[in-house]
Structure 1
């Protein structure tokens, strides 16, 4: 289980996160790329980093490894897969999800 720094978690609440997720098969081949964006609602060990999706407001769950969330440079970020442009997000992160043999994203 990941230890969550309470000060860092508190500082992230209400901030905008852009995430890229790559799903890889058991051999390491990329199967799918997804992009997510949203406002941080809460962070805890049980749920991880919970965002309100910028697309539909639904909860999005990301891993709670807070050191993996890096400050974003100011500017416009276009998420083609979502059809959205996000201006001046606060954090960026990318994740690789390694699927067990026989699983699909």
Structure 2
């Protein structure tokens, strides 16, 4: 498993919040861009948080595929979910009242 590295120098990890996320539902909106910030694709995933670790990331068990997805452990980006029904753009699936939501951008590095 690849470790995530804090690149901004801040060390504001909230161990209590990280622990509170385990067992909660999380709706994640992922935007994938290339090294020039051009859009590659967008994806939405939803599932239960299995673990949260400062180095390993957020382990999210996807509701539909049962796949374990690792998300960057950027706790500041996670917000309480607003009540309602969320339509996933990639599927016909709907998510009702997620505990938390997060929007993340995944940037591909320039490869030589």
Q: Same fold (TM over 0.5)?
A: yes
User: What's the C-alpha RMSD, in Å, of the aligned pairs?
Assistant: 1.7
Q: Give 2:26's aligned residue.
A: 17
Residue 64 of structure 1, aligned match among 73, 80, 85? 73
Shift of 1:102: 4.8
Q: Distance in 1 between matches of 2:87 and 2:95?
A: 6
Q: Distance in 2 between matches of 1:70 and 1:20?
A: 12
Q: Give 2:58's aligned residue.
A: 49
Q: Distance in 1 between matches of 2:62 and 2:43?
A: 13
Paired positions, count: 103
Question: Which of structure 1's runs of 4+ aligned residues deviate more than 3 A?
Answer: 1-4
Q: Distance in 2 between matches of 1:5 and 1:68?
A: 12
Residue 97 of structure 1, aligned match among 91, 99, 106? 106
Shift of 1:66: 0.9
Is the aligned partner of 1:76 residue 2:85? yes
Q: Distance in 2 between matches of 1:43 and 1:88?
A: 21
Shift of 1:11: 1.2
Q: Give 2:49's aligned residue.
A: 40
SS at match of 2:48: strand
**Structure 2 unaligned runs (5+)?**
none
